[in-house]
Amino acid sequence: MRAITLADFYFLESDPVICFEIKRGYTGDKISSIEELVNKMESNTEIDCLIKDSQTAFKFQLKQYPEEYKEWSADKVIAYLDETILPIRKYNNEFNKDLIIIIAIKPKADSSFKGVEDFDEIHKYLIKKEVRLKEINFLINLNMEYMVWNQAYPENGHYKIPWNQLSYHVAKIIRPN
């Protein structure tokens, strides 16, 4: 489902194709549900999906911020990035200069999530690091009312899309980069 949301964000004017790496041994039989697709997808790959149209292609690695294990704060997120995303042996290497990291978060009501302030701090940290990735972004579900897109690297900014308008490809710029 996140791949469909990414298509909404990255391909506002076109009708893209979403590609996944399928497990070895797949015989080409028909996949008729999302559950079947998920079961046939290869896991532990550097690229979770590729989304492309006739002119452009983007490679994505999708992550879920483990808030149930790590409380949300800019410092905790920076530590998570340092452990999970930025090591060269993980994603931040010469082979992944065109890789876009998407980290999904769903802040709990009692979370210390500060939104813009936290992402400003994360952005300031990342621009001082040697990041080889194309982008590092956060996708936030705000109570099933809005999907908020925060880019933390290379730029700092966010967009807010009303949940019921995702399929219509309508984005409202909240704060310019």
- Residue 163: what pLDDT? 66
- Residue 128: what pLDDT? 97
- Residue 1: what pLDDT? 60
Name 85's Cβ contacts closer than 8 Å, sequence gap at least 6.
63, 91, 92, 101, 103, 133, 136
SS3 content of the chain, % helix, strand, coil (to 5): 25, 30, 45
- Residue 166: what pLDDT? 57
Decide: 131 and 81 in contact? Cβ < 8 Å. Answer: no
Helices (H) and strands (E) in the chain, counts: 4, 8
**Domain range enclosing 148:** 2-175
* Structural domains in the chain (count): 1
The neighbouring-strand residues paired with 99 are: 59
- Residue 109: what pLDDT? 66
- Residue 80: what pLDDT? 93
- Residue 43: what pLDDT? 82
The parts of the chain modelled with pLDDT lower than 50 are 168-177
